[in-house]
Amino acid sequence: MSKTQQPDDPAPSPSRSTVILMLRTLADTTWRMFVPPFASLGFGYWVDVQYHSAPWAALGSVVVGIGVSAWLIATQIKKVRT
């Protein structure tokens, strides 16, 4: 093969629909990771201010938010595998 010839099997480039699917999945996973912990943190902070229980309600609600995030991501992974 000379220097000017191209290889017979070039590496395939991803199609536009594949890239869009990957970006959509990334965005879906991102909200599942961050929205529940931050939303529950806001709720926990509000409870702490109302009942003067700082920082226990905020910490407990963040733990619950992380658990909800883990469950949402596990559900997403199961959905993709089937």
* Number of domains the chain is built from: 1
Supply the pLDDT for residue 8.
65
The pTM (predicted TM-score) of the whole model is 0.74
Supply the pLDDT for residue 71.
97
Evaluate whether residue 21 is within a structural domain.
no
Evaluate whether residue 44 is within a structural domain.
yes
Evaluate whether residue 8 is within a structural domain.
no
Query: What CA–CA distance (Å, rounded) separates 65 from 72?
Result: 10
| pLDDT exceeds cutoff 70 at 11 | no
Residue 81 DSSP SS3: helix
Evaluate whether residue 49 is within a structural domain.
yes
Range of the domain at 39: 27-81
Instruction: Give the residue with greater pLDDT, 77 vs 62.
Output: 62
The mean pLDDT value of the chain amounts to 88
Evaluate whether residue 45 is within a structural domain.
yes
